[in-house]
Every structure is written in C-alpha cells, then in structure tokens.
Amino acid sequence: MQYVQIAASIVVRQVLEKGRNLNQVLEESQRGKADWMASQRAALQDLSYGTLRFYGQLQSILNTLLHKPLKDERVRYLLLTALYQLQYGKSAQYAVVDHAVRAAQSLNPKTSGLVNAILRNFLRDQVMLVGRAAQHPEGKYSYSQWWIDEMYMQYGERSTALLEVGNQHPPMTLRVNQRKCSSIEYGKLLAQQELASVAVEPDALRLKKPVSVDKLSGFFDGMVSVQDAGAQYAAHLLDVHDGMRVLDACAAPGGKTAHILELATVEMFALDKDATRIKRVAENLQRLGLAATLEVGDAADPEKWWDGKVFQRILADVPCSASGVVRRHPDIKWLRRRKDIDQFAGQQLAILSALWQLLEQDGKLLYATCSIFQQENEDVIKVFLERQSDACRLQVMLPDDKEGKLLPNDEHDGFFYALLQKKA
C-alpha cells in the first residue's frame, strides 16, 4: 500500500502544482509500473481521483492538524492521500497509518513521526475536524470558492445538491450498438451475466454496479460502448437520416460520431484539432465496425480543411469548462479559473459562427457542451442568434426541460443542447 500512496501523492501533486490533466498523469504513471497487479493500479486510480475529489475538505483538515507549514511538499501530498483513505476508504485504518509512516520514512525519514502523529490525531478527532472543515465553503463542498459563488449565483438553492452530485462516483452507462443488438436484448444478456442494469433515457442502460469493459458481453466485437446517458441525447437530437452528409466538428474521442453512425447510414466526417485524439476516434470506430472520414483541423478555421461541400447536419460539441462532468474529472474543479469561462465562451462563439457557413439551407446544427455554466450555453446562443439572421432555434425535448439543459443527477452528467436550423 505504501507504494500506491506515494504514487498517488505524486499524481495529485502533478495535477495541483503543474496544472496537468489527471488522466494524462495517471496514464504516464501507469506506464512505469508494469509489474504492478491490477488491484494496485485500481487503488492508484481511486486514491488519485478521491484525493482530488475531496481536496478542499482534506486540505482544510490538514491545515487544522498542522501547527506550522510542512517544508517537504512530498509529505504534504502523502498526508492528503492518507487522509482520504481514512475518511473515505475501505482499508483498515491501522494499515493506512502504518503504510503512510513507512512511505514517509522512504521520502523523508525526519517526517515519519510527524506523519504518524497527524494521522492518529485525525482518527481521534475525526468528527470534530470534519465539522470544522465544513464551516468554510471550500472545506464543505470541495470546490474552489469562485466555482461555489458562480453556482449559487446561477442556481440558488439548487446549488447545494448540484455541488454534492459533483462529488459522487459517476454512473456507468452503456450505449448499445443498434446495428447489432437492441437495448432490450442487451439488457437480457447482462442479466444472464448476473449484471444488473436499468433502462434510462434516451435509450441507454445504466449498470447498478460498474464493471471493467472486458466483462461486458460483446464489447470487443462492437456490440456496446460506455457513454453517459446525457451524451447519448446528441445523436438523437441531431435528427440524422440515411444518405445525409454529416460533420462532427469536435469529435474526439468519437462516442457521438459512432452513435450517429449506429443510428443512420450517412456520409460521416469527424474533425478534431488534436492528431493524437483523432486516433482514438479511429480506434473506437474500428472496434464498432463503423467508418468515417477523419480530419485533423480547427473547427473555427474551416478554410484549412473544408472541401467546400455543405453538410445537412453538423454536431458542434465544442470545448468547454466541463463543469457538468466534474465527478468524472475532479481535477477540473481545481484547474479551472473564473476567467476560463469567458475565454471558452469566446472560443465557442467563434466555432459556432464558422461552422454555420458550412451548413446547407434547412440544415440543422446541434450546439452541445458538457457545461452547466450559462455563459457557455444560453449566453452563447443568444449572442449567435442576435448576429445570425438566418438562424432559428428549434425546441429540444429533454426530461423536465425544454430549453436543452441537463443538470447532473443519478442518471446522467450535465449537458446543454441547442438545435439550430438555417432558414431557407
């Protein structure tokens, strides 16, 4: 366990101090641990995700326990990781403390006694320390203060529930490849494997208990994919039909591209500005037995990649703050800054305006984000419609909302959809 604790503390430090993407850091960390067992790799991911998910609370607790700042940052991150285990983990408390002391001994022998004392003091005064942390917003909700303020300004009394949802483990939801199997039929296959699932809108299956994909029947044969239920609305809302020419303008990793191809036989173009990420689109399509024309390019600069032929449908799943999917990416809560939201909004409007010129008359464009901040959603659409006289907004039907907003809950993450049509 001590090696996992050290590895997790390094991952968390890379994210918080260098502003790096959690998944990327974890992937790099895993490469150097070829001899690790699957259980150790899973534990590394859990400790890294969990420490970042509750970083605000853990940091507040640690500050209370420390009489003076630690000089060795490696030990501070080790303590945060161990505190997460003690507060939220399932390992025996004595084992967590013992291994953390050993880890400190290997990092800095002078600090092993301090680590032992801090962790034992936490166990003795755990209820009081958690309560004291909750007296401050960052310690209570484990978000940056600006994020908390923004949520309360936009959502008022609903903010507490939304903030709490963002700290939960996300559901594992499946998208069934309708070319190979119906959702009902695949639900029966899951039942035969003793994997309990429940049907959720729009046509998804949510597992009651997450499993690794190699346990999903037909996964490697392209029968099923993992995709949040909220994300699965995109292909349905885009209203694609056989024979259409369709563009997915910010396609990676390819889930929505594939879903469109599963629903209709179309001439599909998938674009992404990152060459490495476009390879992931290719890999996903290959597993599913689907085909599309893949392009590397900037959606905001079509002149460098567009062939001049208009599209009947365009999906603009634009870059955003990802504030609606923080339970899957807890590092976002600490890496984003308030100014980033306005920067994303400017980028989103530029992409939307550029792609509009590629849409044929009567064609439809679906604007999508995984954000719950209105600056990236309604505000962008409002400005676009004011500037674009040949654009009209169509109503989209979502559960409990006709304005295109999905707030995160037990069934799906947070998303925003606006369906636009070009007037003839």
* Catalytic center residues: 370
270 by DSSP, 3-state: which? Answer: strand
Packing angle of the helix pair 2-18, 73-88 (nearest 10 deg): 110
Angle among Cα 394, 398, 400 to the nearest 5 degrees reads 120
Length of the chain: 424
Torsion (CA) 75, 76, 79, 81 in degrees, nearest 10: -100
Number of CB atoms found within 10 A of residue 304's CB = 9
Dist. CA 128–CA 292, nearest whole Å: 57
Cis (ω within 30 of 0) for the bond into 253?
A: yes
CB 204 within 8 A of CB 183: yes
Dist. CA 396–CA 398, nearest whole Å: 6
Give the β-pairing of 311-317 and 391-394: unpaired
Phi, psi of 271 (to 5 degrees): -120, 140
- Residue 345: which residues within 8 A CB-CB, separation 6 or more? 375, 376, 379, 380
Question: Closest Cα to residue 266, out of 250, 302, 242, 294?
Answer: 242
